[in-house]
Structure 1
Protein backbone atom coordinates (compact mmCIF):
# COMPACT_ATOMS: atom_id res chain seq x y z
CA UNK A 1 0.00 0.00 0.00
CA UNK A 2 1.25 3.49 -0.87
CA UNK A 3 1.43 6.16 1.82
CA UNK A 4 0.49 9.81 1.32
CA UNK A 5 1.82 12.08 4.06
CA UNK A 6 0.04 15.38 4.70
CA UNK A 7 2.32 17.75 6.61
CA UNK A 8 0.41 20.82 7.69
CA UNK A 9 0.49 23.87 9.88
CA UNK A 10 -3.17 24.46 10.61
CA UNK A 11 -3.12 27.64 12.63
CA UNK A 12 -6.54 29.09 11.83
CA UNK A 13 -10.13 28.08 11.05
CA UNK A 14 -9.43 28.91 7.40
CA UNK A 15 -6.49 26.52 7.24
CA UNK A 16 -8.50 23.92 9.13
CA UNK A 17 -11.18 24.06 6.43
CA UNK A 18 -8.56 23.79 3.69
CA UNK A 19 -6.82 20.89 5.45
CA UNK A 20 -10.11 19.04 5.92
CA UNK A 21 -10.93 19.49 2.22
CA UNK A 22 -7.49 18.22 1.15
CA UNK A 23 -7.72 15.22 3.48
CA UNK A 24 -11.29 14.42 2.37
CA UNK A 25 -10.17 14.49 -1.26
CA UNK A 26 -7.17 12.28 -0.56
CA UNK A 27 -9.42 9.81 1.29
CA UNK A 28 -12.23 9.86 -1.29
CA UNK A 29 -14.18 6.73 -2.12
CA UNK A 30 -12.77 5.01 -5.16
CA UNK A 31 -9.14 5.73 -4.35
CA UNK A 32 -7.73 2.40 -3.30
CA UNK A 33 -4.30 1.35 -2.20
CA UNK A 34 -3.37 4.66 -0.55
CA UNK A 35 -3.03 5.20 3.18
CA UNK A 36 -3.40 8.87 4.13
CA UNK A 37 -1.34 9.94 7.14
CA UNK A 38 -1.42 13.46 8.58
CA UNK A 39 1.17 15.09 10.79
CA UNK A 40 1.36 18.63 12.13
CA UNK A 41 4.49 20.28 10.79
CA UNK A 42 5.95 20.67 14.28
CA UNK A 43 5.73 16.94 15.03
CA UNK A 44 6.41 15.35 11.62
CA UNK A 45 9.70 13.46 11.61
CA UNK A 46 12.23 12.12 9.17
CA UNK A 47 10.77 8.66 9.79
CA UNK A 48 7.35 9.93 8.65
CA UNK A 49 8.92 11.28 5.47
CA UNK A 50 10.97 8.15 4.79
CA UNK A 51 7.90 5.92 5.24
CA UNK A 52 5.79 7.98 2.80
CA UNK A 53 5.66 7.74 -0.98
CA UNK A 54 4.23 11.20 -1.63
CA UNK A 55 3.72 14.47 0.27
CA UNK A 56 1.06 17.16 0.56
CA UNK A 57 2.27 20.29 2.32
CA UNK A 58 -0.05 22.86 3.89
CA UNK A 59 0.94 26.22 5.32
CA UNK A 60 -0.21 29.72 6.06
CA UNK A 61 1.72 32.55 4.45
CA UNK A 62 3.32 34.62 7.20
CA UNK A 63 4.95 37.89 6.21
CA UNK A 64 5.38 36.59 2.67
CA UNK A 65 6.94 33.27 3.68
CA UNK A 66 5.86 29.76 4.66
CA UNK A 67 5.09 29.29 8.34
CA UNK A 68 7.96 28.80 10.75
CA UNK A 69 6.44 25.41 11.56
CA UNK A 70 6.78 24.17 7.96
CA UNK A 71 10.29 25.61 7.76
CA UNK A 72 11.11 23.76 11.01
CA UNK A 73 9.79 20.55 9.41
CA UNK A 74 12.08 21.01 6.43
CA UNK A 75 15.03 21.81 8.71
CA UNK A 76 14.46 18.57 10.63
CA UNK A 77 14.07 16.24 7.64
CA UNK A 78 16.30 17.76 4.97
CA UNK A 79 19.58 15.93 5.47
CA UNK A 80 18.19 12.67 6.91
CA UNK A 81 15.87 12.35 3.87
CA UNK A 82 17.94 13.99 1.16
CA UNK A 83 19.08 10.95 -0.79
CA UNK A 84 16.38 8.46 0.18
CA UNK A 85 13.42 10.59 -0.96
CA UNK A 86 14.79 12.11 -4.17
CA UNK A 87 12.28 11.85 -6.99
CA UNK A 88 9.23 11.53 -4.76
CA UNK A 89 6.13 13.52 -5.70
CA UNK A 90 4.68 16.41 -3.71
CA UNK A 91 2.07 19.15 -3.90
CA UNK A 92 1.16 22.07 -1.64
CA UNK A 93 -1.68 24.29 -0.51
CA UNK A 94 -1.23 27.73 1.03
CA UNK A 95 -3.38 30.41 2.59
CA UNK A 96 -2.46 34.08 2.69
CA UNK A 97 -4.09 37.45 2.94
CA UNK A 98 -2.55 39.16 -0.07
CA UNK A 99 0.48 37.50 -1.69
CA UNK A 100 1.87 33.99 -1.44
CA UNK A 101 4.57 34.13 -4.10
CA UNK A 102 7.45 34.26 -1.60
CA UNK A 103 6.13 31.22 0.27
CA UNK A 104 5.61 29.29 -2.98
CA UNK A 105 9.17 30.14 -4.06
CA UNK A 106 10.57 29.00 -0.72
CA UNK A 107 8.75 25.66 -0.83
CA UNK A 108 9.86 25.11 -4.41
CA UNK A 109 13.49 25.92 -3.54
CA UNK A 110 13.59 23.48 -0.63
CA UNK A 111 11.77 20.68 -2.44
CA UNK A 112 14.03 21.16 -5.45
CA UNK A 113 17.00 20.75 -3.11
CA UNK A 114 15.44 17.55 -1.80
CA UNK A 115 14.90 16.34 -5.35
CA UNK A 116 11.13 16.08 -4.90
CA UNK A 117 8.97 16.47 -8.00
CA UNK A 118 5.95 18.78 -7.94
CA UNK A 119 2.99 16.91 -9.44
CA UNK A 120 0.38 19.70 -9.26
CA UNK A 121 0.56 23.47 -9.10
CA UNK A 122 0.06 24.75 -5.57
CA UNK A 123 -3.42 25.70 -4.49
CA UNK A 124 -3.13 29.26 -3.19
CA UNK A 125 -6.09 30.80 -1.42
CA UNK A 126 -5.99 34.51 -0.65
CA UNK A 127 -8.50 35.78 1.87
CA UNK A 128 -11.49 33.80 3.05
CA UNK A 129 -11.89 30.56 1.07
CA UNK A 130 -15.18 30.19 -0.73
CA UNK A 131 -16.77 27.04 -2.03
CA UNK A 132 -14.64 27.05 -5.21
CA UNK A 133 -11.40 27.35 -3.22
CA UNK A 134 -12.33 24.47 -0.94
CA UNK A 135 -13.25 22.41 -4.00
CA UNK A 136 -9.77 23.12 -5.37
CA UNK A 137 -8.31 21.82 -2.11
CA UNK A 138 -10.47 18.68 -2.32
CA UNK A 139 -9.42 18.15 -5.93
CA UNK A 140 -5.75 18.58 -5.01
CA UNK A 141 -5.99 15.86 -2.39
CA UNK A 142 -8.01 13.54 -4.64
CA UNK A 143 -5.79 14.00 -7.68
CA UNK A 144 -2.54 13.48 -5.82
CA UNK A 145 -3.88 10.37 -4.06
CA UNK A 146 -5.33 8.96 -7.30
CA UNK A 147 -2.05 9.47 -9.12
CA UNK A 148 -0.20 7.81 -6.27
CA UNK A 149 -2.61 4.87 -6.43
CA UNK A 150 -1.78 4.50 -10.12
Structure 2
Protein backbone atom coordinates (compact mmCIF):
# COMPACT_ATOMS: atom_id res chain seq x y z
CA UNK A 1 0.00 0.00 0.00
CA UNK A 2 1.45 3.41 -0.90
CA UNK A 3 2.46 5.81 1.82
CA UNK A 4 0.11 8.57 2.85
CA UNK A 5 1.56 12.07 3.15
CA UNK A 6 0.87 14.04 6.33
CA UNK A 7 1.73 17.71 5.93
CA UNK A 8 2.44 19.89 8.96
CA UNK A 9 2.21 23.64 8.40
CA UNK A 10 3.13 25.19 11.73
CA UNK A 11 4.54 28.54 12.77
CA UNK A 12 7.45 28.04 15.17
CA UNK A 13 9.10 31.39 15.97
CA UNK A 14 10.48 30.47 19.42
CA UNK A 15 12.30 27.60 21.12
CA UNK A 16 9.03 26.50 22.78
CA UNK A 17 7.03 26.51 19.55
CA UNK A 18 9.90 24.70 17.80
CA UNK A 19 9.71 22.08 20.57
CA UNK A 20 5.98 21.72 19.79
CA UNK A 21 6.76 20.97 16.14
CA UNK A 22 9.37 18.40 17.19
CA UNK A 23 6.87 16.72 19.56
CA UNK A 24 4.24 16.71 16.82
CA UNK A 25 6.68 15.09 14.39
CA UNK A 26 7.59 12.51 17.03
CA UNK A 27 3.92 11.56 17.31
CA UNK A 28 3.43 11.35 13.55
CA UNK A 29 6.52 9.16 13.16
CA UNK A 30 5.56 6.50 15.71
CA UNK A 31 7.38 3.25 14.85
CA UNK A 32 4.09 1.28 14.61
CA UNK A 33 2.89 3.50 11.75
CA UNK A 34 4.44 2.31 8.52
CA UNK A 35 2.08 3.74 5.89
CA UNK A 36 2.51 7.44 6.73
CA UNK A 37 5.28 9.89 6.02
CA UNK A 38 5.14 13.28 7.65
CA UNK A 39 6.97 16.49 7.08
CA UNK A 40 6.94 19.97 8.51
CA UNK A 41 6.99 23.02 6.28
CA UNK A 42 7.07 26.52 7.76
CA UNK A 43 3.98 28.51 6.69
CA UNK A 44 5.98 31.10 4.76
CA UNK A 45 7.62 28.30 2.75
CA UNK A 46 4.56 26.08 2.23
CA UNK A 47 3.12 26.06 -1.27
CA UNK A 48 -0.14 24.96 -2.88
CA UNK A 49 1.81 21.99 -4.28
CA UNK A 50 2.61 20.87 -0.72
CA UNK A 51 -1.11 20.86 0.09
CA UNK A 52 -2.05 19.14 -3.16
CA UNK A 53 0.40 16.32 -2.36
CA UNK A 54 -0.97 15.85 1.18
CA UNK A 55 -3.47 13.24 2.36
CA UNK A 56 -3.99 15.16 5.62
CA UNK A 57 -2.74 18.38 7.19
CA UNK A 58 -1.99 19.59 10.70
CA UNK A 59 -1.91 23.34 11.18
CA UNK A 60 -0.08 25.01 14.04
CA UNK A 61 -0.07 28.66 15.02
CA UNK A 62 0.69 31.05 17.78
CA UNK A 63 -2.01 33.40 18.98
CA UNK A 64 -1.04 36.90 17.83
CA UNK A 65 -3.23 39.71 19.12
CA UNK A 66 -6.21 37.36 19.23
CA UNK A 67 -5.61 36.08 15.69
CA UNK A 68 -3.54 33.43 13.91
CA UNK A 69 0.09 34.20 13.12
CA UNK A 70 0.71 36.38 10.10
CA UNK A 71 2.75 33.52 8.66
CA UNK A 72 -0.21 31.10 8.75
CA UNK A 73 -2.50 33.79 7.31
CA UNK A 74 0.02 34.28 4.50
CA UNK A 75 -0.05 30.52 3.84
CA UNK A 76 -3.83 30.60 3.53
CA UNK A 77 -3.73 33.72 1.34
CA UNK A 78 -1.36 32.06 -1.13
CA UNK A 79 -2.84 28.56 -1.09
CA UNK A 80 -6.60 29.05 -0.70
CA UNK A 81 -7.70 29.36 -4.31
CA UNK A 82 -5.11 27.02 -5.88
CA UNK A 83 -6.28 24.13 -3.62
CA UNK A 84 -9.96 25.06 -3.10
CA UNK A 85 -11.53 22.80 -5.72
CA UNK A 86 -8.91 20.04 -5.55
CA UNK A 87 -8.58 19.32 -1.83
CA UNK A 88 -12.13 19.40 -0.50
CA UNK A 89 -12.51 16.87 2.29
CA UNK A 90 -8.82 17.04 3.27
CA UNK A 91 -8.55 15.71 6.85
CA UNK A 92 -7.14 18.45 9.07
CA UNK A 93 -6.29 19.28 12.65
CA UNK A 94 -5.09 22.41 14.44
CA UNK A 95 -3.14 23.36 17.50
CA UNK A 96 -2.87 26.88 18.88
CA UNK A 97 -0.21 28.09 21.28
CA UNK A 98 -2.25 30.77 23.04
CA UNK A 99 -1.01 33.22 25.62
CA UNK A 100 -4.65 34.18 26.22
CA UNK A 101 -7.59 31.93 25.38
CA UNK A 102 -7.13 31.27 21.65
CA UNK A 103 -10.80 31.94 20.83
CA UNK A 104 -10.23 34.52 18.09
CA UNK A 105 -7.43 32.47 16.58
CA UNK A 106 -9.56 29.34 16.51
CA UNK A 107 -12.52 31.17 15.00
CA UNK A 108 -10.35 32.67 12.24
CA UNK A 109 -8.75 29.36 11.25
CA UNK A 110 -12.07 27.51 11.44
CA UNK A 111 -13.65 30.07 9.14
CA UNK A 112 -10.96 29.56 6.47
CA UNK A 113 -11.02 25.77 6.84
CA UNK A 114 -14.82 25.82 6.47
CA UNK A 115 -14.41 27.76 3.22
CA UNK A 116 -11.87 25.20 1.99
CA UNK A 117 -14.30 22.42 2.96
CA UNK A 118 -11.61 20.49 4.81
CA UNK A 119 -12.74 17.98 7.44
CA UNK A 120 -11.74 18.31 11.08
CA UNK A 121 -10.51 15.01 12.49
CA UNK A 122 -10.82 16.33 16.06
CA UNK A 123 -11.49 19.52 17.96
CA UNK A 124 -8.68 22.08 17.71
CA UNK A 125 -6.14 21.79 20.52
CA UNK A 126 -5.56 25.05 22.38
CA UNK A 127 -2.47 25.26 24.59
CA UNK A 128 -3.41 28.15 26.88
CA UNK A 129 -1.51 30.39 29.26
CA UNK A 130 2.00 30.06 30.57
CA UNK A 131 4.22 27.40 29.01
CA UNK A 132 3.70 23.89 30.39
CA UNK A 133 5.77 20.82 29.59
CA UNK A 134 2.49 18.90 29.19
CA UNK A 135 1.91 20.86 25.96
CA UNK A 136 4.56 18.66 24.36
CA UNK A 137 2.66 15.49 25.28
CA UNK A 138 -0.62 16.98 24.05
CA UNK A 139 0.84 17.88 20.65
CA UNK A 140 2.64 14.53 20.33
CA UNK A 141 -0.71 12.81 20.96
CA UNK A 142 -2.34 15.01 18.31
CA UNK A 143 0.30 13.96 15.78
CA UNK A 144 -0.10 10.29 16.68
CA UNK A 145 -3.89 10.50 16.40
CA UNK A 146 -3.85 12.04 12.93
CA UNK A 147 -1.08 9.75 11.65
CA UNK A 148 -2.78 6.66 13.07
CA UNK A 149 -6.03 7.65 11.38
CA UNK A 150 -4.21 7.95 8.06
CA UNK A 151 -2.23 4.74 8.63
CA UNK A 152 -5.36 2.71 9.38
CA UNK A 153 -7.42 4.22 6.57
CA UNK A 154 -9.95 5.87 8.89
CA UNK A 155 -9.40 9.02 6.84
The unaligned stretches of length 5 or more in structure 2 are none
Give the match for residue 90 of structure 2: 88
C-alpha distance in structure 2 between counterparts of 1:28 and 1:127, whole Å: 28
Give the RMSD, CA atoms, in angstroms.
0.9
28, 35, 39: which one pairs with 1:33?
Answer: 35
Superposition map of 1:50-129 within 5 A: 50-129=52-131
| TM-score, length basis structure 1 | 0.96
Q: Deviations over 1:46-99 (max 9, x none)?
A: 000000010000110000000000000001110000011000100011112112
The unaligned stretches of length 5 or more in structure 1 are none
Superposition map of 1:1-16 within 5 A: 1-16=3-18
| TM-score, length basis structure 2 | 0.93
- Aligned-pair distance for 1:131? 3.1
Q: Deviations over 1:106-139 (max 9, x none)?
A: 1111011001001011121123332322111100
Contact 2:25 2:39 in 1 (8 A): no
Bigger fraction of residues in strand: 1
Deviating runs (4+, > 6 A) in structure 1?
A: none
Contact 1:14 1:128 in 2 (8 A): no
Q: Deviations over 1:5-51 (max 9, x none)?
A: 00011011221111111111011110111010210000100000000
Q: Give secondary structure in 2 for the equivalent of 1:62.
A: coil
C-alpha distance in structure 2 between counterparts of 1:22 and 1:122, whole Å: 14
43, 46, 49: which one pairs with 1:47?
Answer: 49
